[in-house]
């Protein structure tokens, strides 16, 4: 299936077609504009390139040529089953799709503002609080995902190892939040906002689905195919520290966590040994992995939207009312 | 320090802090805290919300006076015991559902469906997501039964599940009457927030079977007022059935079947025989139910938003979520 970048804007005149996202602009003229437009319109109703060709009235070769153009700039991905492939070929395709979905997350309004240095103080610290809950959820979903012994130890050991190394990383972010002046008790006793709970529930459910699904989760979270360098990490957080000086402690925590990930080589995915040991995948397994990539992106989109929605007033950092049952007594007194 | 030592804030209690004055509000009152420095008021509220002592070394006179006023205004309550009965908690939940339902159903989705101002594509979306949600009873109720550690409660959940498992067929028929093939609807799948509601219910079932019962009670409380339900479906039929397909009729049948089963009393059936619940457990139950109610709010808003932006293509095999509307 050819999946178009959801952020794509499409401007069509009779002879010109312009496809554009935040980073790329492609212009098609004449016959190629007509072909591209027809192919884009047929894609959502088509499971494969043959159907796109039939619906659009263009040859499969033309459909494939247009698809390659779009894929090169992450304006589309091809999620169709690659058939008998090597683990490296599967992985390369998964990486491409994961980067595509990661870009979709980062193109959303709040994520764009946050990393451009345009978020409010409440939003930045609120993001820190909810990120803490997300990292803490590793004690549930990664514990669940790694709680498997059915299969070869060489395949499973990196998965066990991954959880063991991540299990207590939430403490790093907690320290960062405390350095920004938030109180530990307030963070530990509050409930996450519902959009964070939606994300952590999704991670939990997907972790229980199967080993392929569990390990696919991390592809969207860690889309880089090569580890970032310490200099790149420092430069990223220097920018954010400069933009958000009230959150220096929090970004120090992010930086030290990212550097730990570099040392632990977390840009290599635990999916890799799973693919190595599985060999040939079935079409159903592939579809399920593609579904996990997209669903993971959607869950993170909701996570970011929640920061913007629930962290408007500065009091939200200190007070998210925790409902309690004390009223039960008052009601029975009235009765 | 035990959680019962300090007064608990009345629920709900909202804080509005703009400028130097803190304003507290609930469903009935709005109180401007003129006499207390905002920083002290916020600190006391933060601590009480954390079940901590409101005291600190600073501004002692303000703190104790502020707590006294909170209690006097019934914005803070002494915790009377370390436990409550199932009957007490059920009564509290029932009372809380009234407030929550008021909030949930006063939003854009439900008012626009009722008064006829919704776009047709939003009506389609509401129907599609309702079908997914009702189908999702199989992911909620049977899971809750499987997770329940109490045999009596497990049996109630199992019975409820068996009485609900095939109710999606009513909604599938409504879909067909409105021109949608349920097979394609299945293939596209639900909105992420529809899935989130189902997964939040499953989360509740993992936390505590009573937390699940509290969430389920909220859902059933919305369907148990059959007269309101009939009036709603009648209005939807009047406003949005130009082709006279009578697509609301199967949903109306579903409403009546639920009434015949008496699902509105499941929450009470679960809670009433429980002689004592620790206050910590009771707090946790209502917290999870609150999170569930917030998720329902997000879901309703998301249906309005997602389907307002694009007409449903009945032949599309997938959906874009949070796409560029200019596409």
| CB within 8 Å: B8 and A326 | yes
| Count of A-B CB contacts under 8 Å | 176
> Which residues from chain A sit within 8 angstroms of residue B17, using beta carbons?
313-315
Q: How far apart are CA A277 and CA A87, in angstroms?
A: 9
Query: Do residue B45 and residue B69 come from a single domain?
Result: yes
How much of chain A, in percent, has pLDDT values that exceed 90? 84
- What was the pLDDT predicted at A45? 84
Average of per-residue pLDDT values in chain A? 93
Point out the residue among A1, A7, A198 whose CB comes nearest to the CB of B295: A198
Do B264 and B255 meet the contact criterion of CB atoms below 8 Å apart?
no
Query: Do residue B186 and residue B281 come from a single domain?
Result: yes
- What was the pLDDT predicted at B141? 96
Do A309 and B2 meet the contact criterion of CB atoms below 8 Å apart?
no
Domain assignment of residue B327, yes or no: no
Query: Do residue B99 and residue B66 come from a single domain?
Result: no
Give residues with Cβ within 8 angstroms of B159, minimum separation 6. none
Do A310 and A99 meet the contact criterion of CB atoms below 8 Å apart?
no
| CB within 8 Å: B52 and A185 | yes
What value does the mean pLDDT take over residues B290-301?
97
- Which domain does B188 fall in, by range? 83-309
CA distance A259 to chain B (A): 32
Q: What is the 3-state secondary structure (H, E, C) of B29-81?
A: CEEEECCCCHHHHHHHHHHHHCCCCCCCCCCHHHHHHHHHHHHHCCCEECCCC
Structure tokens at A129: 């609080």
**Closest chain B residue to A292 measured between Cα atoms?**
B192
Query: Do residue B120 and residue B40 come from a single domain?
Result: no
Write the ipTM.
Answer: 0.95
Q: How far apart are CA B326 and CA B303, in angstroms?
A: 19
Do B180 and B118 meet the contact criterion of CB atoms below 8 Å apart?
no
**Closest chain B residue to A332 measured between Cα atoms?**
B88
Average of per-residue pLDDT values in chain B? 92
| CB within 8 Å: B91 and A328 | yes
Q: Is A284 on the interface with B (CB under 8 A)?
A: no
How much of chain B, in percent, has pLDDT values that exceed 70? 97
Among the ranges given (A55-59, A233-237, A325-329, B208-212), the one the predictor scored with the smallest mean pLDDT: A325-329
Q: What CATH number corresponds to the domain at position B52?
A: 3.90.930
> Which residues from chain B sit within 8 angstroms of residue A194, using beta carbons?
200, 291, 294-295, 298
| CB within 8 Å: B324 and A9 | yes
| CB within 8 Å: B318 and A302 | no
What value does the mean pLDDT take over residues B27-50?
89
State the DSSP string of B237-263.
Answer: HHHH-TT---TTHHHHHHHHHHHHHTG
CA distance B327 to chain A (A): 5
Most confidently modeled range among A27-31, B244-248, B263-267: B244-248
Domain assignment of residue B320, yes or no: no
Q: With bands split at pLDDT 50, 70 and 90, how would you rate the model's confidence at A323?
A: confident
Query: Do residue B165 and residue B116 come from a single domain?
Result: yes
Q: Considering B77, B108, B124, which residue would you say is the last residue of a domain? A: B77
Query: Do residue B43 and residue B110 come from a single domain?
Result: no
- In this chain, the answer to whether the domains covering A2-78 and A87-317 adopt an identical fold is no
CA distance A125 to chain B (A): 16
Is residue A30 pLDDT above 50, yes or no? yes
Domain assignment of residue B325, yes or no: no
- What was the pLDDT predicted at B3? 44
Query: Do residue B65 and residue B88 come from a single domain?
Result: no
Query: Do residue B92 and residue B131 come from a single domain?
Result: yes
| CB within 8 Å: A313 and B320 | no
Topology (CATH) of A87-317: Heme Oxygenase; Chain A (1.20.910)
Torsion on CA atoms B36, B42, B48, B52, rounded to nearest 10: -110
CA angle B212, B139, A322 (to 5 degrees): 30
Query: Do residue B238 and residue B223 come from a single domain?
Result: yes
| CB within 8 Å: B50 and A329 | no
- What was the pLDDT predicted at B222? 80
Give residues with Cβ within 8 angstroms of A271, minimum separation 6. A91, A94, A212, A215, A216, A218, A219
Task: Give per-residue pLDDT as tens, A238-290.
Answer: 999 999 999 999 999 999 999 988 887 666 789 999 999 999 999 999 999 99
- What was the pLDDT predicted at A166? 93
- What was the pLDDT predicted at A333? 61
| CB within 8 Å: B92 and A6 | no
**Closest chain A residue to B80 measured between Cα atoms?**
A329
How much of chain B, in percent, has pLDDT values that exceed 90? 70
Q: How far apart are CA A124 and CA A114, in angstroms?
A: 7
Domain assignment of residue B316, yes or no: no
Is residue B306 pLDDT above 90, yes or no? yes
Domain count, chain B: 2
| CB within 8 Å: A331 and B8 | no
Tell me the torsion sign for CA atoms A245, A246, A249, A250. negative
CA angle A244, A246, A250 (to 5 degrees): 85
Do B199 and A202 meet the contact criterion of CB atoms below 8 Å apart?
yes
Q: With bands split at pLDDT 50, 70 and 90, how would you rate the model's confidence at B67?
A: very high
Is residue B16 pLDDT above 90, yes or no? no
Which residues 194-213 of A are in CB contact (within 8 Å) with B? 194-195, 197-198, 201-202, 204-205
CA distance A84 to chain B (A): 25
Point out the residue among A301, A322, A332 whose CB comes nearest to the CB of B91: A332
Is residue A148 pLDDT above 60, yes or no? yes
Q: How far apart are CA B298 and CA B302, in angstroms?
A: 6
Instruction: For domain A2-78, give the CATH number.
Output: 3.90.930.70
Is residue A335 pLDDT above 60, yes or no? no
| pLDDT higher at A126 or B83 | A126
Query: Do residue B19 and residue B123 come from a single domain?
Result: no
| CB within 8 Å: A315 and B42 | yes
Task: Give per-residue pLDDT as tens, A155-209.
Answer: 999 999 999 999 999 999 999 999 999 999 999 999 999 999 999 999 999 999 9
Q: With bands split at pLDDT 50, 70 and 90, how would you rate the model's confidence at A322?
A: confident
Is residue B4 pLDDT above 50, yes or no? no
Structure tokens at A234: 């420092």
- Rg value, chain A, Cα: 23
Is residue B223 pLDDT above 70, yes or no? no
Domain edges within chain A:
2-78, 87-317
Q: Where are the alpha helices (DSSP H) in chain A?
A: 30-42, 49-56, 60-72, 87-106, 109-115, 121-136, 138-145, 153-166, 170-179, 184-189, 194-209, 211-221, 230-243, 248-263, 271-278, 283-310, 327-334
What value does the mean pLDDT take over residues B93-100?
92
| CB within 8 Å: A328 and B193 | no
The whole-model pTM stands at 0.95
> Which residues from chain B sit within 8 angstroms of residue A299, using beta carbons?
192
Do B279 and B82 meet the contact criterion of CB atoms below 8 Å apart?
yes
Query: Do residue B113 and residue B253 come from a single domain?
Result: yes
Among the ranges given (B79-83, B170-174, B244-248, B278-282), the one the predictor scored with the smallest mean pLDDT: B79-83
Q: Which of A21, A325, A327, A334 to mutate to test the interface with B (most CBs of B within 10 A)?
A: A325
CA distance B253 to chain A (A): 32
Query: Do residue B227 and residue B132 come from a single domain?
Result: yes
Domain assignment of residue B106, yes or no: yes
**Residue B56 vs residues A180, B40, B52, B237: alpha-carbon distances, Å:** 20, 10, 11, 60
């Amino acid at each position: 299936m050819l999946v178009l970048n959801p952020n794509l804007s499409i401007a069509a005149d009779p002879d010109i077609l312009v496809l554009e996202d935040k980073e790329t602009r492609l212009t098609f003229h004449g016959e190629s504009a007509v072909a591209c437009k027809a192919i884009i319109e047929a894609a959502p109703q088509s499971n494969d390139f043959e159907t796109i060709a039939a619906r659009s009235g263009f040859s499969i070769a033309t459909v494939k040529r247009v698809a390659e153009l779009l894929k090169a700039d992450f304006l589309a991905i091809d999620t169709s089953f690659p058939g008998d492939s090597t683990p490296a070929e599967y992985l390369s395709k998964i990486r491409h799709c994961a980067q595509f979905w990661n870009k979709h997350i980062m193109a959303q309004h709040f994520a764009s503002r946050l990393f451009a240095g345009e978020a409010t103080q409440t939003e930045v610290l609120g993001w820190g609080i909810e990120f803490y809950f997300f990292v803490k959820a590793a004690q549930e979903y990664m514990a669940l995902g790694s709680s498997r012994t059915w299969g070869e130890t060489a395949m499973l050991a990196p998965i066990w190892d991954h959880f063991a190394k991540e299990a207590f990383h939430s403490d790093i972010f907690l320290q960062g939040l405390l350095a920004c002046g938030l109180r530990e008790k307030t963070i530990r006793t509050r409930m996450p906002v519902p959009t964070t709970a939606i994300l952590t529930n999704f991670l939990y459910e997907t972790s229980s689905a199967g080993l392929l699904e569990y390990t696919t989760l991390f592809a969207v979270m860690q889309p880089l195919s090569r580890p970032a360098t310490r200099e790149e990490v420092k430069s990223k957080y220097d920018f954010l520290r400069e933009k958000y000086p009230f959150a220096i402690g929090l970004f120090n925590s992010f930086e030290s966590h990212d550097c730990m990930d570099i040392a632990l080589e977390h840009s290599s995915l635990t999916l890799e040994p799973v693919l190595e040991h599985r060999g040939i995948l079935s079409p159903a397994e592939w579809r399920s992995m593609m579904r996990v990539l997209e669903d993971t992106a959607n869950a993170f989109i909701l996570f970011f939207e929640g920061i913007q929605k629930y962290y408007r007033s500065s009091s939200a950092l200190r007070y998210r009312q925790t409902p309690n049952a004390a009223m039960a007594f008052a009601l029975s007194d009235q009765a | 320090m035990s959680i019962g030592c300090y007064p608990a804030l009345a629920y709900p209690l909202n804080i509005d802090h703009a400028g130097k004055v803190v304003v507290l509000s609930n469903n009935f009152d709005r109180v401007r805290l003129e006499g207390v420095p905002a920083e002290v008021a916020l600190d006391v509220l933060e601590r009480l919300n954390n079940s901590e002592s409101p005291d600190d070394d600073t501004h002692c006179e303000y703190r104790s006076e502020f707590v006294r006023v909170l209690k006097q205004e019934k914005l803070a309550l002494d915790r009377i015991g370390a436990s409550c009965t199932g009957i007490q908690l059920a009564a509290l939940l029932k009372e809380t559902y009234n407030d929550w339902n008021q909030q949930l159903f006063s939003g854009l989705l439900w008012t626009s469906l009722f008064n006829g101002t919704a776009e047709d594509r939003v009506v389609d979306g509401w129907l599609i997501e309702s079908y997914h949600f009702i189908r999702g009873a199989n992911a909620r109720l049977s899971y809750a039964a499987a997770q329940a550690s109490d045999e009596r409660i497990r049996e109630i959940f199992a019975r409820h599940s068996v009485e609900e498992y095939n109710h999606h067929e009513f909604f599938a028929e409504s879909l067909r009457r409105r021109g949608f093939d349920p097979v394609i609807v299945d293939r596209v799948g639900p909105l992420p927030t529809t899935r989130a509601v189902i997964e939040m219910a499953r989360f509740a079932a993992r936390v505590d079977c009573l937390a699940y019962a509290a969430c389920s009670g909220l859902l059933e409380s919305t369907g148990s007022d059959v007269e309101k339900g009939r009036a709603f479906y009648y209005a939807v039929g009047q406003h949005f059935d130009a082709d006279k397909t009578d697509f609301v009729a199967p949903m109306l049948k579903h409403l009546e079947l639920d009434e015949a089963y008496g699902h509105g009393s499941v929450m009470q059936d679960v809670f009433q025989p429980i002689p004592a619940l620790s206050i910590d457990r009771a707090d946790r139950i209502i917290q999870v139910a609150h999170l569930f109610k917030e998720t329902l709010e997000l879901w309703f808003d998301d249906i309005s938003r997602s389907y307002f932006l694009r007409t449903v293509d009945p032949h599309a095999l997938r959906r874009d979520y949070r796409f560029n509307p200019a596409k």
